[in-house]
Amino acid sequence: MGILNKLVSFAVGIPSFTVLMVASVWMQQWGNTSPNSCKLAETFINDYFCFHSGSLDRLKVLPNICPQFTANLMTAIADNYFGVTKKEFLFPPKRLLNIIIFWISNHSSLCTAAQEKAAILPPGAIAMDAVTPIAGLLKWCVLAPIYKEDSAEYSRLHLALLNSILEIPRSSPPKAIYAQHLAYCINPILTYAGDLKTKQELKLNQILSESALQMSLDRFAQAIQVAYSMCSIYGHVDDFFNQLKQLPFNKSLNIVINTYKKE
């Protein structure tokens, strides 16, 4: 794995479409959020954002060279940060955040690139569906305010993702955003609201007007509304909207839930 990770990292720098395309298929077959794929993403981040502080020009053109690899890489990267099950939370380096914003802002269909073209596999092999990076990156934007990481970059990323969702081709059934991946944001928000009550001893009206909480809920509501209007959410959608009812009151989110209920 160490050699493979270094090979892929090296292929980004050359760049080598062939190696990156094979790596993209490999990640997809393992699962874009599998430990192996996340470790590959970690090596890439260390090589280009932690140990090397040079120009990012070479990385800016990565979507032009191999959009499928870039999309799968973003999915793995998104899973490496803002983890909701880890004791210690890791946040993406600002330079990484900026390059992802650049990628998505300048390539509106990049997030679904790995789904648009079937992976080339040996005869008899079953191609695994690609998980898009949309839900994982939205998690960053939604949770950033309550983790006090709400720099301007997260607002820009949120806008880029909303524009990207608007460009998703309609498909039947939908395949772009898995409902339970979107639901990852719910428990951290509930935990934060609970801490406001128990640790800060805020009253209900103070909790509901707390700025970080409301910004988080606003972003979540906007993303759900756009994704739902584009028919891009799949999975247990009814269960997902029922889970949303647990969240503290937010005007935008309430409208989204009621609209779904009516339809």
Question: Per-residue DSSP letters for 24-61?
Answer: HHHHHHH-TTSHHHHHHHHHHHIIIIIS--S--HHHHT
Q: What does pLDDT average to in each consecutive run of 10 residues of the chain (263 residues)?
A: 94 94 94 95 92 79 96 97 71 94 96 85 80 97 93 96 93 88 95 89 86 96 96 95 96 95 88
Report domain extents, the chain: 1-80, 131-263
Model pLDDT, residue 103 = 98
Q: What is the pTM of this model?
A: 0.93
Model pLDDT, residue 28 = 93
Model pLDDT, residue 122 = 76
- For residue 247, which of 156, 153, 182 has the smallest C-alpha distance? 182
Task: Evaluate whether 141 touches 159 at the Cβ level (below 8 Å).
Answer: no
Task: Evaluate whether 98 touches 131 at the Cβ level (below 8 Å).
Answer: no
Model pLDDT, residue 42 = 94
**Which residues on adjacent β-strands are paired with residue 178?**
234
Model pLDDT, residue 53 = 66
